[in-house]
Structure 1
Amino acid sequence: MFSALSFEDFITEEKYLALQNRFDSYNIPPRNVYDEYSIKKIYQEDFSINYLYPAYPKKDYYKTVFFYRDFLNPKIDNLGKDTVDKIKEKIQSEFRYNKLERDSFLEITINDFLLLTASIDQIDYLPALIKEKLKTQCELTVKYLKDYNFESTNNIAEKFKAKLNKTDLLLLLHLLRNKGLLSHPIDSQFGHLIEENFQYFDDKTNSFLDIKNANKTINEIKNYNRPVEKSIKRLRELFQNESFFEL
């Protein structure tokens, strides 16, 4: 029906004015076709639009819809949940296997919401009821993020830790795929899957590290732009060692 709501819509007077104008843009007929904003000053009292409801296969109909009563109050009550869902999606897509970055992101996000909560009382362009609702949603968001246990929620297992350096590991996986022992049709996705599921061993730090730029490295190997003679020798020695096949 109307555009999505976010905490960003409330943090400055300009953004809140833009929110009211987005709502007003649904009025039929448009109030002002020559100017981007038909509302020049924030309304703290309720105002309405003439909204066209689609009712297919029945006939569409018009209805008077109020900004605070019908739009903002219902939507703001779900703002915390909607925000947490977006944060969880961001964690899944960007920090799923990197605990340090994930924890840092959560800490920064929580601090941002604590600062926003503390500043809400000083905002003079929002009605008192909206400020109370906004504070409640901020507090719910902070509480959820503080209690959020990513590992138990997602039941994510650790990556495979390969006791091979990066080039050796990527060369091995490339050879297995090239010989038909591993199957995946899309080059770019193959590299992404490696990054998502494997770590290599770094002698300098004596630790397992995440793989970055797997596709780039594999392409360099395939195009003979990366020396792999030493890697081939190490892998050959590994697999020719009789002890390797001891169960």
Structure 2
Amino acid sequence: MPLYREEGVVIRTHKLGEADRIVTMLTRGRGLLRAVAKGVRRTSSKFGARLEPFMVADIQCYEGRTLDTITQASTLGAYGPNISADYDRYRAGSVIVETAERIAEGGPSREQYALLVGALRTLAAAKIPAELVRDGYLLRAMGLAGWTPGFDACVRCGAPGPHTIVAVQLGGVVCENCRQAGSPRLDPGSIRLLAALLAGDWDTASESTERERGQAAGIAAAHTQWHLERGLRSFSSRHSSSPRA
């Protein structure tokens, strides 16, 4: 059977039989991949720890009729232990990889793959608050997928900002004339934070207040789920709710 090599991020794993696992990965060249890793649950396994969630690995596989089989794995990014050791980082990482998986259903994208690896690397380093890494990833991933939110001019009529009313269904901030029923008004600092997260401006983002981060998190979650047209299991109820007006 044909052999191939790939680079990928482990999204999740499932037990298979007594010693095997099915590994779901987002790969650089093939997009989503589900493959069997034989014997990785045995204590004698040489590469089981390399195929845990949030790890980046170089793998060798051979093609099967239904599922491919992973025969070798080497670590490229050992982000799993640091992310899983902290509850906030783990929750943020879970949202990140689930979002990446949903976006990848549309096909492989090297840009999305690179963004995912960068987000997990930053999250594991623990130098930036986990919720900021998560929300920055969400906004930029949706932008790469074609749904870039606008936080300056009104996204409906183009009236120059700054504006503080957000209409998720329209894709960003709107002016008073374009406001729709139920559209929340955010603090000006929350809009600045959203723009900083979209731009990857961590210095500005890190200066934000807890209230601003809470409002920005609500918008990032709502924007993501609106355009994916489904909820994400990894979001807690706090992040799934509307931001405070």
Q: Tell me which protein shows more strand as a share of its residues.
A: 2
* TM-score under structure 2 length normalisation: 0.21
* TM-score under structure 1 length normalisation: 0.21
Q: Tell me which protein shows more helix as a share of its residues.
A: 1
